[in-house]
Amino acid sequence: MAVIHITRDNFEQEVLQSDVPVLIDFFAVWCGPCKMLAPIIEQLAEEVPGKKICKIDVDAEPELAAQFGVTSIPTLVLIKNGAIAGTIVGMRSKKALLEFLDS
């Protein structure tokens, strides 16, 4: 499955109403660590079954970033059953992200 780009318009349906866990990558196009993390996020979207992998551009969707208290990027938020199950900030390895998804 490809990475899903989240906006205000599809946030409720894709994230809050999802019947599978959702990993959200809060990023910005100008952010160096975000660019380093992007290929890993793409790999997770293709390789991890039963979970949605999403991205939110903090510059395009500042309200969503504020809603999750994002003050540094990249920030990764795991949503399960419409609620925050975990948050990590900063660049992480693929192995660390796989462990986070299984938490």
Q: Which residues are catalytic?
A: 31, 34
CB 6 within 8 A of CB 58: no
d(CA 71, CA 44): 24
Amino acid at 43: Q
CB atoms within 10 A of CB 11: 18
Rounded distance, CA 67 to CA 93, Å?
A: 26
